[in-house]
Amino acid sequence: MVDRPISASDRWIDDHGDTLYRFALARVRNSDVAEDLVQETFLAALQGTYRENGPTAERSWMFGIIKHKIIDYFRRTAREPLRESADSQSADEDFLPDGHWKPEMAAIGGWPEKPDGLLERKQFWAVFAACLENLPPRAAQVFTLREMDEVETEEICRLFSLTPTNLGVILHRARKQLRNCLSGRYFGRSQKVEGA
């Protein structure tokens, strides 16, 4: 039996598969869809031309491909009807009819820890993922694209057929729901533990 040399594409699954899958899963929140997006990424990579050298450049190239695949997925699903969660209705109680905060909501205190320390906490990200899961699907998609993937506002508006004002309201409410969820599930719990 003759050993054949391993090509770059043969090792992509081992080198990048898990990372690309986790990246996609965090954004689309469906394991089957995430797997499909990774497969589409590898297929596009096989059909494309990789020009730089080194594992870091290769991984960046793969992430660029999967980001476009995720955006394409959101384009396909943007017009599907979405269910509203109970949390989205309760979050509306914090706003005036014109969309501004109610005066009593502006007095909520700050969070107890510095953000830099939180970024390194695995527990924080687990709670954050659970809170993101509780957002209405479109709000989670929009928040993820804008805040995590840094997709431009114009592109998100085009993708979901939103006006910039409507996008702003969705992002505002998503941030509010995430803050309430994190305050109760993470920050509130850590304060009780420290005070006990």
Model confidence over 157-189: pLDDT tens digits? 988 889 999 999 999 999 999 888 888 877 765
- Across the range 7-35, mean pLDDT stands at 83
* Longest alpha-carbon distance in the chain: 76
C-alpha separations of 28 from 101, 111, 112, 162 in Å? 30, 28, 31, 19
pLDDT, position 128: 83
Find the angle CA(128)-CA(20)-CA(13) to the nearest 5 degrees.
145
- CA 57 vs. chain centroid, Å, equals 23
Topology (CATH level 3) of domain 8-77:
Rna Polymerase Sigma Factor; Chain: A (1.10.1740)
Confidence band of 120 (pLDDT split at 50, 70, 90): low
Model confidence over 61-86: pLDDT tens digits? 888 899 889 888 888 877 665 554 44
Ranges for all domains in the chain classified under CATH 1.10.10.10: 86-195
- CA 158 vs. chain centroid, Å, equals 18
Q: What CATH number does the domain located at 86-195 have?
A: 1.10.10.10
The CB-side HSE value for 43 (13 A sphere, CA atoms) comes to 7
Ranges for all domains in the chain classified under CATH 1.10.1740: 8-77
3-state secondary structure 87-122: HHHHHHHHECCCCCECHHHHHCCCCCCCHHHHHCCH
